[in-house]
Amino acid sequence: MLGVPFALVWVVLGLSCILAGKVNKHKPWIETSYHGVITENMDTVLLDPPLVALDKDAPVPYAGEICAFKIHGQEAPFEAVVLNRTSGEGVLRAKGPVDCETQKEYTFIIQAYDCGAEASGASWKKSHKAVVHIQVDDVNEFSPVFREPMYHASAMEGKIYDSILQVEAWDQDCSPQYSQICNYDIVTSDTPFAIDRNGNIRNTERLSYDKKQRYKVMVTAFDCGQKRATESVAVHIDVKPVCKPGWQGWNKQVDYEPGTGSKQLFPKMHLETCDGPLSAVRAMVELQTSHIGKGCDRETYSEKSMQKLCGAASGSTDLLPAPSVSTNWTASLLTDSGRDSDLIFNFDGRQAANVPERVVPQNLTDQFTIATWMKHGPSPGLRAEKETLLCNSDKTEMNRHHYSLYVHNCRLVFLLRRDFTQVDTFRPAEFHWKLEQICDKEWHYYVINVEFPAVTLFVDGVTYEPYLVTDDWPIHPSSIDTQLTVGACWQDLTSWSCNDHENGEESAQNYTGGSCGEVSTPRFTQFFRGSLSGLTIRPGRIETQKVISCLQACKEGLDIHSLESLGKDIKFHFNPAQSVLVMEGEDLESVNTAMAKVSYINSRQFPTAGLRQLHITTTVQCFGEDICISIPDIKALVMVLPPSEPRITIAGSDQLVRPAADLRGAMGVAPFKELRITSTVTKGDGVPFSAGGPGVLEAMHNLDYCDVLVIGEELNPEQESLEIHHSSLMGKHLDATNSTSGISIYGVDSMAHYEEALRQVRYRNWRPATLTNRRFRLTCSELNGRYTSNEFNLEVSLVHNTAPVEHVNHMAVQSQYMRSVHHPLMVHSVNSHISGTPPAATVVVVICIAALVCIVVLGIYRLHSTHQDSSKSEEDGAKEPEMDWDDSTLTITVNPMEVRGHYTKEFPEKALHWSEAEKERKFK
């Protein structure tokens, strides 16, 4: 019995030995990487994930337990400690103080070891290697410190700086939170300075050297952890007196006397830069004249006269003439005479005018020109309505627009619909331009040249092509009349009206009985809001750019006196109107010399008096900088003095006595054959002098019309005429019209040409026996009545057995400010021919009676032959009016002043009266 247990013990012991060799068969397991954070000067590391080792041998003692964590790397100041062998928990600790400023991060290898198979720790197994990353958290232990012990800067008085100087502080902490400087602050109170978070110090008000020459400002700094600098830093700012850079030596007002040519505006002006290291100077001089007439001082002659002066082709139609008897369609429009009789029509969105059919050009071909002056601004509100300047549309029914010119959303649009008789394909029909000038509320000259299918727009002489062209089909031919309108478009609004039904249009269309039909309501639509002047159409030809530039050219502007003396290093540029001059130079002395030569010029002989503003802006560039010196703008004035008023004097014989045969002759008589026209101006203080005396100068200038009015009864076309042959006007810028009220010669031309033309005026009377006397009144004008002559009266009478006697007219000239009333007048004759009987009259009567007796006796003797001669004489006398010279080239049109369009608010149109029969015939 003792042997069996002993054997069993040995078996158990043997199995135990075999099993002991297989107990520690697994390695410990840990994560492959760990991330830890440790605050500097602390010893515990916070790991993510926590340090834990696992072993599959658990819960076998020793083999399933963790005995150690080992760190590989001698430089790592950390150690790993096992907190619980059974659970495998551990902790990572610093061996000594950790300083972020020394090292911010650590990386090393760690492994876990189990306890082996026995208590002795034999046969430990180790885990795989894991990477550990540890970041050292910073502690805000340092305060900001300024890099400089003191700062010094200077600032010019009177200048606002973005930055006078910049201070800078730094922090020894390692982290961005505690090492960055987040804010600066000025400790000193009540100082005219401020500092931003970047340390830039600027002045909050203009400094004055006289008030304070030096400022001491204490500045502190804060890091992003709001730790303040231990010591503030002192900033010293010196105020430097400045020499005030800018233009010096100029006058605020320059007086300009008309007729003096080019006058220097700033002869002694120079630029002070206070010795700044400049590299370039740019100055812009702007002459502001938008308040004068149509944007500057231009000639104010009539549109037709200007076209002749500029060499424009004839045949243009004025759609906005001055209101008169024959041009009454503009009478209801609002007008503004502006300055110098410059006729302007204002449209406020309620007025428009229908152009009579007799005036509308009927032969618009593939070539024609539309021109106008326009001043327009954006429409009020958000409405996108069309604003029509010119529109040719159906008068009734279809309301088709054949051609029109309108503004839409500050775009200029020209519509041209061709007829099927001209073209039958899809063709360009609408041309669009988008320009700033259309809505800038300034005057501009617009010319549209049509060379179908091309359409070109000129604005102030500059060419613009349309940015958009849309096509359309031609208009089908119809018998509907068209209506040309200005300031709106004519539209016929047609609606149905039924007395017995209330079912609307559908019912009306199906209605077969009762009272029902169309109601036509023609009216204006698409009203224009702005100002127009000189709206014309020229069919058959387009205008040249040379003529367009002449028609819109300003007569005043900037100039450079002695242009050839400018240095080569000066660059200058004028805008087309010469109202803006830009000069650039690198040398200050050259720029000063150039600016001293800037001049004002006004080529009008009688310019518009008043103020013109000058604006000068200057920029100075320094080496390496964009703009280093601020130059104040200059605002000055040019005062154009009133021109010397001309005294236009008409002189000559005031009585013409001629035999009846001269009046019956084919050429008649020339009443103004010895006419003289002179003009004088008084220089100085305006005190009148005797002719030719000191201060009086003869002035040669143009006239724009001369009118010969019949005083008393109008001419009887059955027996008398007042005419001028067309050949007398050849080679001159003159035209003539006549009627039974007289004759008018008009056009801008010299006084000498007017003299020549007036001397060719002929008066004929082929029945002078009925003539007692015929009186005429002659007046001449310059600038549409701005300056007028004296009224020169002349009397034509027959010889009554006395020698012709001529008396020189010494009539005093009107006041130089007097204007002629230029409208249809009936000047009634005054019976001023009162004769007295001289003492020798009795003798003359006796002699005449004796002579009469002798004539009677001789008459009886030759009665038969005398009767034959008398019959022949009567027959010739009856035919004498037909012996007139060929006057087929004579211009016989409407009333002369109505054609010219001489009109202003203050001086109504002056015209000659027609007889009632002629009026009925002309206006029928």
Identify the band that residue 884 occupies on the pLDDT scale cut at 50, 70 and 90. very low
Domain covering 29-137 assigned CATH 2.60.40.60 in the classification:
yes
Q: Do domains 145-240 and 303-496+518-552 have the same CATH topology?
A: no
Q: What is the pLDDT of residues 241-272, one digit of tens each?
A: 877 788 988 999 999 998 888 999 999 999 98
pLDDT of residue 313: 76
Identify the band that residue 763 occupies on the pLDDT scale cut at 50, 70 and 90. very high
CATH class of the region 145-240:
mainly beta
pLDDT of residue 698: 77
Q: What is the pLDDT of residues 60-75, one digit of tens each?
A: 788 788 888 988 876 7
Weakest-pLDDT range from 47-51, 84-88, 122-126, 682-686: 682-686
Nearest to residue 280, comparing CAs of 625, 622, 629, 628?
A: 622
**Cα–Cα dist 781/610, whole Å:** 23
**Cα–Cα dist 309/303, whole Å:** 10
pLDDT of residue 298: 82
Q: What is the pLDDT of residues 73-104, one digit of tens each?
A: 767 888 888 888 888 899 988 888 888 877 88
pLDDT of residue 205: 93
Amino acid at 631: I
Weakest-pLDDT range from 430-439, 788-797, 817-826: 817-826
Q: Which residues contact 548 (CB under 8 A, 6 or more apart)?
A: 371, 445, 447, 458, 461
CA 617 to chain centroid, in Å, comes to 19
Reported residue count of the chain is 924
Q: What is the pLDDT of residues 132-174, one digit of tens each?
A: 998 888 778 888 999 999 999 999 888 899 999 999 998 878 8
In this model, does residue 890 exceed pLDDT 90?
A: no
In this model, does residue 805 exceed pLDDT 80?
A: no
pLDDT of residue 815: 32
Q: What is the pLDDT of residues 323-361, one digit of tens each?
A: 877 788 988 898 875 555 568 899 988 889 999 988 888
pLDDT of residue 146: 93
Q: What is the pLDDT of residues 171-225, one digit of tens each?
A: 878 887 788 888 999 999 999 999 999 999 999 999 998 899 999 999 999 988 8
Identify the band that residue 898 occupies on the pLDDT scale cut at 50, 70 and 90. very low
**φ/ψ (deg, to 5) at 111:** -135, 150
**Cα–Cα dist 145/149, whole Å:** 9
Q: Which fold has domain 303-496+518-552?
A: Jelly Rolls (2.60.120)
Mean pLDDT for the stretch of residues 804-821: 36
In this model, does residue 924 exceed pLDDT 60?
A: no
Q: Which fold has domain 246-292+570-640?
A: Immunoglobulin-like (2.60.40)
**Cα–Cα dist 202/198, whole Å:** 12
Helices and strands per DSSP (H, E), number in the chain: 12, 57
**Cα–Cα dist 570/557, whole Å:** 20
Greater pLDDT, 521 or 222 = 222
Mean pLDDT for the stretch of residues 643-656: 90
Amino acid at 229: A
Mean pLDDT for the stretch of residues 545-549: 84
In this model, does residue 552 exceed pLDDT 50?
A: yes
Nearest to residue 327, comparing CAs of 913, 733, 709, 896?
A: 896
The structural domains of the chain, with segments of one domain joined by +, span 29-137, 145-240, 246-292+570-640, 303-496+518-552, 646-683+695-799
Mean pLDDT for the stretch of residues 882-892: 36
Q: What is the pLDDT of residues 708-758, one digit of tens each?
A: 999 999 999 889 999 998 888 888 888 898 888 999 998 889 999 999 999
pLDDT of residue 238: 93
In this model, does residue 875 exceed pLDDT 70?
A: no
pLDDT of residue 433: 94
Mean pLDDT for the stretch of residues 288-307: 80
pLDDT of residue 193: 95
Residue 764 exposed, middle or buried by CB count within 10 Å (0-12, 13-18, 19+) = buried
Identify the band that residue 499 occupies on the pLDDT scale cut at 50, 70 and 90. very low
Mean pLDDT for the stretch of residues 447-473: 89
pLDDT of residue 850: 60
Residue 432 exposed, middle or buried by CB count within 10 Å (0-12, 13-18, 19+) = middle
Whether the full predicted model's pTM is greater than 0.95, yes or no, is no
pLDDT of residue 902: 38
Whether 869 contacts 863, CB under 8 Å: no
Domain covering 646-683+695-799 assigned CATH 2.60.40 in the classification:
yes
